[in-house]
Amino acid sequence: MGSGYLGLHRLSILTHQQVVLPSCHKVLLKFHTLAAVGNVATVAPFTASFKRYDGCCLCSRACRSMSNLIIRCCSTNAFVIANDEKYGNKQIISINPHLYDYILANVREPEILRQLREETASLHGSQMQVSPDQAQLLAMLVQILGAERCIEVGVYTGYSSLAVAMVLPDSGLLVACERDAKCLDVARKYYDLANVSHKVNIKHGLAADALKSMILNGEAGSYDFAFVDAEKRMYQEYYELLLQLVKVGGLIVIDNVLWHGKVADPMVNDAKTVSIRNFNKNIMEDQRVSISMVPIGDGMTICRKK
């Protein structure tokens, strides 16, 4: 503990009062108890400060910068307090269950989307669908753009695609790429129920093949908006194909760019994490687009083609 590892100090909260500290630190924390299930309490610090004991040689660099303090509670919540002078001691929150309930209570989820979400909840892979707040953001981006022609890569049972199709004009088009026929059956049912089937062109099969044939078909530069939410190791390929298909000023939105936080943990190096991490690095350096990484859901990056 207490190394300069990414400039972070990692603390583990064993209960809502016990804290494992770097031996060279004195930490002052006060907590709100947010939720308790069985003997596990979820807590949020509302004040946190820490001091280095004199003579600490292990972490003096990190201590001097007072960079970040990460507190892990019950291994499910991370509360991040950015405390770096370079950022004006900006404090940022992370989402705990209470706050997320509040956010969801402030999402205007159309009834048909709610029904689809609830039907999907009992299906295998239900955790894959975007959250209501993400779907709302996607729909708003489409509306802000005044988009008419959209693409989705990874439909599953249709939650995000339905959210997009519903805000397209009647003449609009959403090309929906999905390889799983059973998932598409559910999606089709809801496109019908929501009266948007005429706007959705389903491409059943491998998404990369669909995108390549659209380019061969002369559709490059004719789309306003694309959403990528399929095989993570294919992100770079999807992105390059979509960059050809969207017009200048069009958006490509990519889901799961924070990958449950694993992208920021150098100890995690499985193929998917490395692939998303590399993808994020490439996007960061890609001058063909302007970018914004948004910490919503599992993280979405919005790219605007220059």
Ligand X SMILES: C[S@@+](CC[C@H](N)C(=O)[O-])C[C@H]1O[C@@H](n2cnc3c(N)ncnc32)[C@H](O)[C@@H]1O
Contacts with 102 (C-beta within 8 Å, 6 or more apart), sequence order: none
Give the strand order in the sheet containing 173-178. 200-204, 173-178, 149-153, 223-228, 246-255, 300-305, 289-294
- The answer to the question of residue 109 lying near ligand X (CB under 6 A) is no
Nearest approach, Cβ of residue 178 and ligand X (Å): 5
Radius of gyration of the chain (CA): 22
- Site for ligand X, residues 179 to 198, rule: CB under 6 A: 179-180, 183
- The answer to the question of residue 128 lying near ligand X (CB under 6 A) is yes
Q: Which is nearer to ligand X, 231 or 286 (CB)?
A: 231
Provide φ and ψ at 263, rounded to 5°: -60, -25
Instruction: Kindly state the DSSP code that residue 172 receives in the 8-state scheme.
Output: -
In the shown chain, the binding pattern of residues 218 to 237 toward ligand X, with x for contact by CB under 6 A and - for none, equals: -----------xxx--x---
- The answer to the question of residue 130 lying near ligand X (CB under 6 A) is yes
Instruction: Kindly state the DSSP code that residue 131 receives in the 8-state scheme.
Output: P
- The answer to the question of residue 129 lying near ligand X (CB under 6 A) is yes
Options 13-21, 76-84, 178-186, 288-296: segment touching ligand X (CB under 6 A): 178-186
- The answer to the question of residue 42 lying near ligand X (CB under 6 A) is no
Options 38-46, 75-83, 153-161, 241-249: segment touching ligand X (CB under 6 A): 153-161
Q: Residue 30 forms beta bridges with which residues?
A: 47
- The answer to the question of residue 214 lying near ligand X (CB under 6 A) is no
- E strand or H helix at 305: strand 300-305
Q: How far apart are CA 250 and CA 246, in angstroms?
A: 6
Q: Contact positions toward ligand X, by CB under 6 A?
A: 128-130, 154-157, 159-160, 177-180, 183, 206-207, 229-231, 234
